[in-house]
């Protein structure tokens, strides 16, 4: 594996993308088979993928619900739990906008809280302080693939009669104290977006108690009665009922065709991510200007993201300039994420200032997401390491 080198630095010749999907011939053949079949939208392959994904994560009742995004899963979860106007839902400020947007969609208020300084997951004590008589749910995010403090959060939820909805967009596969995320009775929403560890291009899944999933299945397909997709099949019937005004959130068999094979490869993908992370950790852990990410002893991260934080007291340039320096060395990066309380909609509506959540603000100001995906060769990883360390050497404070 790559190591720290003392050789003169030479930048790579071509640009290294941050996180391209890893699609093989098996996925392509399965999609072609679907295109040649009688089903291209929600159908038999979606059902197979639901069952196989549920088995993989150990979902309650051996079932899951496939949807067109993790966002859809979070939205459906809130609706299934009856959360709406006048209610409050606690979410971390450091997350993608969807985590809070869905709360706005149901007419409830997202209550933002700060994060833990090591894992960057939601701070349970901040959650406890934020609970009010209007609070109905908490949405922890398994940030970058590291599990949130589920035992503490579950205890708070039980104490106050709150629902726990896991934003597991980064968490396939993630383990908390030896148990895989997605195996609990509470609802958990996964993402299969193009950059995720398992991709269906767009897509997502819900796991949780079977009775909640049955409600979610109806909510996510127009409010149509159970197994409405079978109405065009020989064993189905054209008759169906609308039991509520639902949404159009179903996954297609084209997407599931990708997912079936991505799931079979996921363990191998995860091993490669762990290898890349091990090389990064070895290269960066003794550099005073850099703060590598944490994996607590009870956790097995999916390593969806590798979040490197700069220590500005050791550098003459800020985070944004560091990114530009890496780009000049043909290394693609990203930032995950601008905290929600700094986004104009939430800042203006709720009167937030950047300093309201100091841990999230500090992490955001220093973070860079480095390339991390199964397609990285050892040479690619070495290029990333060499580029990062060259920027540090070039811009180190005297």
Distance from C-alpha of 53 to C-alpha of 209, rounded to nearest angstrom? 15
Please name every residue paired with 249 in a beta bridge, in sequence order, or none if there are none.
none
Collapsed DSSP state (helix, strand, coil) of residue 20: coil
Judge contact between 360 and 93, C-beta under 8 A. yes
In the structure encoding, which two tokens stand for residue 40, read together?
């291209």
Please name every residue paired with 166 in a beta bridge, in sequence order, or none if there are none.
188
Instruction: Work out the angle between the directed axes of helices 253-284 and 25-35 (0-180°, nearest 10).
Output: 160
CA angle, residues 90, 296, 320, in degrees to nearest 5: 70
C-alpha gyration radius of the chain: 22
The structure tokens 């996921």 sit at 266
In the structure encoding, which two tokens stand for residue 375, read together?
């397609």
Strands 88-92 and 109-113: parallel
Any catalytic annotation for residue 196?
Answer: yes
The structure tokens 């269906």 sit at 200
Residues in the chain: 398
Distance from C-alpha of 376 to C-alpha of 364, rounded to nearest angstrom? 25
CA distances from 359 to 289, 338, 341 (A): 19, 13, 12
Collapsed DSSP state (helix, strand, coil) of residue 162: coil
The structure tokens 């009856």 sit at 82
What letters, b where the CB count within 10 A reaches 16 and e where it falls short, cover 18-32?
bbebbbeeebeebbe
Q: Number of H helices and number of E strands within the chain?
A: 12, 14
The structure tokens 């302080």 sit at 129
| Active-site residue, from 45, 136, 196, 265 | 196
CB-side exposure of 339: number of CA atoms within 13 Å? Answer: 30
Residues belonging to the active site? 196
């Amino acid at each position: 594996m790559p190591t720290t080198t003392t050789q003169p630095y030479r930048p790579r010749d071509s640009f290294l993308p941050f996180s391209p999907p890893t699609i093989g011939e098996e996925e392509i053949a399965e999609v072609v088979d679907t295109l040649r079949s009688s089903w291209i939208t929600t159908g038999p392959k979606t059902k197979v993928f639901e069952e196989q994904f549920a088995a993989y994560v150990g979902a309650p009742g051996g079932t899951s619900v496939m949807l067109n995004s993790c966002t859809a899963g979070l939205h459906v979860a809130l609706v299934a739990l009856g959360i709406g106007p006048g209610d409050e839902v606690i979410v971390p400020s450091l997350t993608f906008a969807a985590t809070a947007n869905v709360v706005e969609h149901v007419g409830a208020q997202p209550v933002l809280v700060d994060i833990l300084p090591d894992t960057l997951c939601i701070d349970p004590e901040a959650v406890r302080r934020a609970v009010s008589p209007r609070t109905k749910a908490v949405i922890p995010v398994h940030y970058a693939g590291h599990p949130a403090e589920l035992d503490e959060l579950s205890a708070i939820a039980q104490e106050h009669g709150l629902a726990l909805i896991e934003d597991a967009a980064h968490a396939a596969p993630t383990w908390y104290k030896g148990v895989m995320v997605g195996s609990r009775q509470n609802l958990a929403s996964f993402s299969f977006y193009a950059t995720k560890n398992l991709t269906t291009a767009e897509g997502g899944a819900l796991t949780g108690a079977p009775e909640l999933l049955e409600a979610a299945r109806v909510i996510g397909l127009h409010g149509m009665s159970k197994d409405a997709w079978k109405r065009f099949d020989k064993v189905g019937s054209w008759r169906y009922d609308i039991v509520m005004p639902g949404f159009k959130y179903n996954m297609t068999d084209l997407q599931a065709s990708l997912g079936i094979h991505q799931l079979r490869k996921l363990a191998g993908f995860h091993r490669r991510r762990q290898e890349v992370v091990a090389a990064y950790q070895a290269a960066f852990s003794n550099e005073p200007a850099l703060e590598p990410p944490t994996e607590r002893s009870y956790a097995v991260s999916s390593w969806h993201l590798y979040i490197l934080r700069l220590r500005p007291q050791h550098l003459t340039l800020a985070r944004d300039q560091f990114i530009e320096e890496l780009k000049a060395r043909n290394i693609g990066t990203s930032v995950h994420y601008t905290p929600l309380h700094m986004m104009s909609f939430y800042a203006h509506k709720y009167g937030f200032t950047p300093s309201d959540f100091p841990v999230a603000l500090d992490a955001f100001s220093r973070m860079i997401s480095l390339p991390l995906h199964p397609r990285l060769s050892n040479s690619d990883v070495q290029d990333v390491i060499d580029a990062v360390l060259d920027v540090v050497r070039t811009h180190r404070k005297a």
